[in-house]
Structure 1
Amino acid sequence: MESAKALMDRAKTATSLEDFGEDSFREGLEILVAATQKEAKLNDMGTAAFGGQIVDYLSKRLEVEHWYARHPEMDEQDIVAPLIGMGLPRTGSSALGCLLGADPAVRSIRNWEAMNPCPPPETATLATDPRLALAEASMERRARLFPRMTGMLPSTATSPTECQTFMGYDFKSQIFQAFVHVPSYVDWLNNRADLVSTYRYVKRVLKLLQWRCPPHRWRLKNPSHSLFITALDEVFPDARFVMTHRDVAQVIPSVADLYYELHSAFSDDIDTRAIGNDTAGFCELGMRRMIAFRDAGNDDRFFDIHFAPFQQDPFPIIEHLYAWLGEELTPAARAGMQAWREEKPRDGQKYERNDMSLFGFDPQGLHDRFRFYEDRFTLSETA
């Protein structure tokens, strides 16, 4: 892995740009590069691919700053009262995000926008933007590189996605630990990093996206927000939250298996027990922080959804969610959601899951460890 400076120089050369904006990203970049060099055990492809990912994020940051330099009026916009989805990963949050994103009156981050936010998208060219084809090609490459991914995370170029990539522009994001083993970076991220600057940068990119492409009622989602909820709240103090829940013995092994799939292309020396330990660790920390935040006077800002009834029939739950928000579930919104349910990606949804014992898990042990969470939200093994 090259040095942080060398990676920054590559991004400057690739874009012919120089201004990275505020220096908030530098600490995370330096810590990530050092952790990768010492801990990740990358193979040749992993070294090239992960280095390329870092250069890409640096390049996108340069492009964002370039557009702000040309159009500083973008910063005058507001991001008002977003609805933000969070909770443990693999709890149905992607399906919820896709359903909510099918409402034509709301805005979400589309996959192709997450891959290439610049130039700012325009309403008139949404259906013909060349980045759609680029995103589709990228997702096809991902499917070849990570064969089980289409089953784990079925999506399209236009599907709503998380803001992990935009957090990555500030180099404080879980997206890096999903691909490589960097425990020292993860420890810093979870316990010492300042995520306020990161969420300010996410807001900066959201303003760019909505500038020429309304609507402005955002539906966002990212399970890792649970870890950084106080920083998120500082930057989005008027946000409301929807939290998805599922049996931890189904969730946590699935997260670990996803990380294993991603790690497997980048390293030939994978410690599956370490993946399991790290996964359970950040899930527990996130839920403890989330519960503390809710119990500190914020519980009325949350709407809870349990996995099983939502999978069976999401519409009664979505109706209650809209009523809770004080918004109308219009016929157009309902039609869009129904169309997504009928047309959602199905290819490859069946895939061979690794046994949870590979990661050091057993169901009873997970239930015991997360009893504090399951009791708080009245979860059962079928929730």
Structure 2
Amino acid sequence: MRPPPRPTALRFAERLLPKLWSAGVLPPPDLDEDRLFRQARRAAKLDDFGPDDAWRDNLSVLLEALRDAPMNAIGRTIAHGSILKVLVDRLRAEAVLAAHPEIRARPLAPPLVICGQMRSGTTRLQRLLACDDRFAHLRLYETLSPVPGPHAGRDPRIRWAGFGLRFINWVNPGNAAAHPTGPMEPDEETGLLEHSFWGAQIEAQRRIPAFARHCESADALPAYRRFADLLRLAGWFRGSDPKLPWLLKSPQYLQDLTTLSEVFPGARFIFMTREANALVASGCSLVWNQMVVQSDMVDPAWIGREWLHKTALRQARADAFRATLADTRAFALDFADMEQDWRGSVRRLYDWLDLPLGEALIARTEAYMARERRHIGHRYRLADFGLTPEGVTAALAASSPAYRPSSTATDAAVAAS
């Protein structure tokens, strides 16, 4: 296996942080649950975190898993900062919801949900559809911080999202190659699930298998009810029309489709697919690029085993759920078709949606694709993560009777998803 070398900037940042803690310039990260709650109350100047609808259990499982996780100085700092941010956001959200009970009564139109494994082309499809102002979508800064703090003028969440993104891309430029984005770009709603300490975005950054197994088996309903309230809150802050359907996208949804459908009755689903070997190899590469920022002991073979398991689990759940849907609620779109003829794929999708493709929308999608094509992608191989095409096929076939391997398997690729 030949994982990429650790970036020089990452090694520099790892050495710098402990010196800043010792000098008192930055407080050392503290993952004690009680102290995190006290710090959040102090920072927000608020006290009510809202009802305990299982999110505190999720947090306790996460903190226990983090104690066993091999994290470096950056990893401990990011873990502490992200948990503290969620707690502060929960306090602020509860204050707004208590002051404005009409928010929770705000209707939500049935959303359009893009369902696909990591690296199946879901980001590209989301950004193409986000060109259409008949759908609402969240931007990166909104999903990173779903609840605006008190401010006047330009939203400070935009500045902080840009700062965090520049830092992550500085310590590991591989992140930008694997997933180019910006504060104002349409992006998946992982931050809304993190409000309940739920979802694969948390586990994709760290080696925390106990937390992963918890999220695979625990009840997802409280997390998605909170998710829906945060969408209502976002729409209320914007003053947008509640009849506008949200455009939703996250690989996590494949794991929780039954629950998501319960919370959003009438939702329509676009299922993205991709040849399995390239899909798994690219997904493992993305996870490696996130984990290597936060740990000095990232094991590529463990990533291969863990994310092949995750891919198989999600595929099985997605296949079972999709079998229950009428054709009017499910549309299939393949990565290869989008690569070969994205215009034709989009036309077929809009025919299914029964929406016209006007000239202005076509021009916006052309502009986006011209910009997207400048992204050169990143390289990945199954072998770098201890995997083989035969092993991938066996794992996916064992998990889902509906799985059929592609006839165009490949073990290496350069692509963007």
Q: Same fold (TM over 0.5)?
A: yes
Q: CA shift at 1:246, angstroms?
A: 0.6
Range 327-336 or range 85-94, more displaced: 327-336
State the secondary structure of the residue aligned to 2:331: strand
Cα gap change, 1:2/1:117 in structure 2, threshold over 3 Å: closer, same or farther? closer
Q: CA shift at 1:283, angstroms?
A: 0.9
Q: Match of 1:101?
A: 130
Tell me the alpha carbon deviations over residues 103-160 of structure 1, each in whole angstroms, 9 at most, x when there is no partner: 1221111111112333399xxx8xx544333322222112112220111001122211
Q: Match of 1:190?
A: 216
Q: Which protein is bigger by CA-based radius of gyration?
A: 2
User: Which residue of the other structure, out of 42, 49, 61, is the alignment partner of 1:31?
Assistant: 61
- Output the CA distance in 1 between the equivalents of 2:143 and 2:296: 29
Cα gap change, 1:157/1:344 in structure 2, threshold over 3 Å: closer, same or farther? farther
Amino acid corresponding to residue 381 of structure 1 in structure 2: T
Range 176-185 or range 364-373, more displaced: 364-373
Asked whether the 8 Å contact 2:282–2:381 carries over to 1, the reply is no
Amino acid corresponding to residue 318 of structure 1 in structure 2: V
Range 296-305 or range 250-259, more displaced: 296-305
Asked whether the 8 Å contact 1:19–1:62 carries over to 2, the reply is yes
Q: Match of 1:276?
A: 304
Amino acid corresponding to residue 271 of structure 1 in structure 2: D
Q: CA shift at 1:212, angstroms?
A: 4.0
- Output the CA distance in 2 between the equivalents of 1:210 and 1:118: 11
- Output the CA distance in 2 between the equivalents of 1:83 and 1:10: 38
Q: Match of 2:323?
A: 295
Q: Match of 1:222?
A: 250
Amino acid corresponding to residue 42 of structure 1 in structure 2: M
Amino acid corresponding to residue 30 of structure 1 in structure 2: S
- Output the CA distance in 1 between the equivalents of 2:43 and 2:77: 16
Asked whether the 8 Å contact 1:15–1:59 carries over to 2, the reply is yes
Aligned positions of 1:141-290 closer than 5 A: 141-191=167-217, 193-213=218-238, 214-215=240-241, 216-290=244-318
- Output the CA distance in 2 between the equivalents of 1:130 and 1:344: 27
Q: Quick check: 1:116 aligned with 2:145?
A: yes
Cα gap change, 1:208/1:345 in structure 2, threshold over 3 Å: closer, same or farther? farther
- Output the CA distance in 2 between the equivalents of 1:60 and 1:319: 40
State the secondary structure of the residue aligned to 2:269: strand
- Output the CA distance in 1 between the equivalents of 2:187 and 2:145: 13
- Output the CA distance in 1 between the equivalents of 2:325 and 2:371: 40
Aligned positions of 1:133-144 closer than 5 A: 133-144=159-170
Q: CA shift at 1:52, angstroms?
A: 1.0
Q: Quick check: 1:91 aligned with 2:120?
A: yes
- Output the CA distance in 1 between the equivalents of 2:201 and 2:367: 30
Cα gap change, 1:28/1:231 in structure 2, threshold over 3 Å: closer, same or farther? same
Tell me the alpha carbon deviations over residues 236-263 of structure 1, each in whole angstroms, 9 at most, x when there is no partner: 1210100111111001111111111111
Q: Match of 1:131?
A: 157
Q: Which runs of 5+ in 2 are unaligned?
A: 1-29, 411-417
Larger proportion of helix: 1
TM-score w.r.t. structure 2 length?
0.84
Q: CA shift at 1:171, angstroms?
A: 0.8
Q: CA shift at 1:55, angstroms?
A: 0.8
Q: Quick check: 1:342 aligned with 2:367?
A: no
Cα gap change, 1:70/1:146 in structure 2, threshold over 3 Å: closer, same or farther? farther
Q: Quick check: 1:80 aligned with 2:106?
A: no
CA RMSD of aligned residues (A): 2.4
- Output the CA distance in 2 between the equivalents of 1:375 and 1:197: 30
Percent sequence identity over matched residues? Answer: 28
- Output the CA distance in 1 between the equivalents of 2:205 and 2:389: 25
Aligned positions of 1:323-334 closer than 5 A: 323-334=351-362
Q: Quick check: 1:3 aligned with 2:29?
A: no
State the secondary structure of the residue aligned to 1:75: coil
Q: CA shift at 1:30, angstroms?
A: 0.1
- Output the CA distance in 1 between the equivalents of 2:178 and 2:221: 31
Q: Quick check: 1:321 aligned with 2:349?
A: yes
Amino acid corresponding to residue 357 of structure 2 in structure 1: L
Q: CA shift at 1:365, angstroms?
A: 2.2
Cα gap change, 1:2/1:345 in structure 2, threshold over 3 Å: closer, same or farther? farther
Range 134-143 or range 197-206, more displaced: 134-143
TM-score w.r.t. structure 1 length?
0.91
- Output the CA distance in 2 between the equivalents of 1:46 and 1:83: 35
Asked whether the 8 Å contact 1:154–1:346 carries over to 2, the reply is no
- Output the CA distance in 2 between the equivalents of 1:130 and 1:225: 29
Tell me the alpha carbon deviations over residues 56-83 of structure 1, each in whole angstroms, 9 at most, x when there is no partner: 1111222221211222211121111100
Q: CA shift at 1:345, angstroms?
A: 7.9
- Output the CA distance in 2 between the equivalents of 1:14 and 1:20: 13
- Output the CA distance in 1 between the equivalents of 2:290 and 2:232: 31
The runs of 4+ residues in structure 1 deviating greater than 6 Å are 372-375
Count of residues in Structure 1 that have an aligned counterpart in Structure 2 = 375
Q: Match of 1:13?
A: 42
State the secondary structure of the residue aligned to 1:220: strand
Q: Quick check: 1:368 aligned with 2:397?
A: no
Q: CA shift at 1:333, angstroms?
A: 2.2
Cα gap change, 1:377/1:205 in structure 2, threshold over 3 Å: closer, same or farther? farther
Asked whether the 8 Å contact 1:120–1:209 carries over to 2, the reply is no
Asked whether the 8 Å contact 1:81–1:240 carries over to 2, the reply is yes
State the secondary structure of the residue aligned to 1:265: helix
State the secondary structure of the residue aligned to 1:284: helix
